[in-house]
Structure 1
Amino acid sequence: MDIRVATAEDWPGIYPFWSEIVEAGETYAYPLGLGSDDARALWLEPAPGRTVVAVDGVEILGSAKMGPNRPGRGAHIATASFMVASAARGRGVGRALGEHVLGWARGAGYLGMQFNAVVETNTSAVRLWQALGFEIMTTVPEAFDSRAHGLVGLHVMYQKL
């Protein structure tokens, strides 16, 4: 598996799993029913951020976007979002993307990384981020409307870099 910067030509390989994950209603608060162009505008991160893909040959296994958590006086803290294609889950793609993003953030001089909204019922993601050194700083109760679980909390997770 290789991780590289995503290009516009990668979007047709990202959008199917992006759409599947968003429409499942379990991990992201993006609006439902977004077409490819609107989704691309949300996922392909402009500078100073970037979007990457994890690939096996020509197959796109997953993607991550990263950049400053807030503009201006908050730009010293990074953030990131991750999606892994359902067919690639359990193969270490999420971990590889997480390690890549952390390395990028350190190299870019960020002082920390904050995840603003990790759905508490997404236990595999919570475990992975904790294994990579993130702490749950707080949980906002009933902040996410999970399709399967109803109203659940969103964790704010942080790691000092």
Structure 2
Amino acid sequence: MRPATSDDWAAIWPIFGDIVAAGETYAYPENLASDDARALWLEPPPGHAVVLEEHGEVLGTAKMGPNRPGRGSHVGTASFMVSPSARGRGVGRRLGEHVVAWHRQHGYTAIQFNAVVETNTAAVALWRSLGFEVIGTVPRAFDSRAHGLVGLQVMHLDLRS
């Protein structure tokens, strides 16, 4: 695990593009240009992005930082993408554990995921296993390519304990 740099974008972009094109987990526009996607993923501070790399191959990436600016900046958020070829190898868990530790180290009091697609059962199970709770679901807020209109779950982890 290491901080992502702009030089990593060539390895992140295919992962990003494949996941967005699948139409199951992110509401990013499908025709998003690489430069626009890079600006969304590799945000300037206080945003922070990492890659999980093994043997020179980027297996996954996460971005994290404040969920909202100003008076909401004590609550963090994050997004994750795992290479389709690396699924089932614990990459998501390692990224998730890193993100939780990073938010704790940086003084955040909680982490809020604003939009976890309810049919993304592997992600929901992972976040629950890391202590996140579903605190609400926005019905029919995501247009899944495979399932049609499904809910977006808001998940929360209190970091104060």
TM-score class, shorter? over 0.9
- Give, in whole Å, the separation in 2 of the partners of 1:50 and 1:130: 23
Could you tell me how far 1:13 is from its partner in structure 2? 0.2
1:83 — aligned with what? Answer: 81
- Give, in whole Å, the separation in 2 of the partners of 1:135 and 1:46: 29
Q: Match for 2:155 among 149, 153, 157? A: 157
Q: Helix, strand or coil: the match of 1:80?
A: strand
1:56 — aligned with what? Answer: 54
| Aligned structure 1 segments of 4 or more residues deviating by more than 6 angstroms | none
Query: Are 1:148 and 2:146 an aligned pair?
Result: yes
Could you tell me how far 1:37 is from its partner in structure 2? 0.5
- Give, in whole Å, the separation in 1 of the partners of 2:47 and 2:98: 14
Q: Which amino acid aligns with 1:34?
A: L
Q: Match for 2:41 among 40, 43, 54? A: 43
Could you tell me how far 1:57 is from its partner in structure 2? 2.1
Q: Helix, strand or coil: the match of 1:142?
A: strand
Query: Are 1:134 and 2:132 an aligned pair?
Result: yes
Tell me, which stretches of 5 or more residues in structure 2 are unaligned? none
Could you tell me how far 1:34 is from its partner in structure 2? 1.1
Aligned-residue CA RMSD (Å):
0.5
1:69 — aligned with what? Answer: 67
Q: Helix, strand or coil: the match of 1:48?
A: coil
TM-score, length of structure 2 as denominator length:
0.98
Tell me, which stretches of 5 or more residues in structure 1 are unaligned? none
- Give, in whole Å, the separation in 2 of the partners of 1:45 and 1:90: 28
1:27 — aligned with what? Answer: 25
Q: How many residues align?
A: 159
Q: Match for 2:114 among 113, 116, 120? A: 116
Q: Helix, strand or coil: the match of 1:133?
A: coil
2:94 — aligned with what? Answer: 96
- Give, in whole Å, the separation in 2 of the partners of 1:135 and 1:89: 23
- Give, in whole Å, the separation in 1 of the partners of 2:9 and 2:102: 21
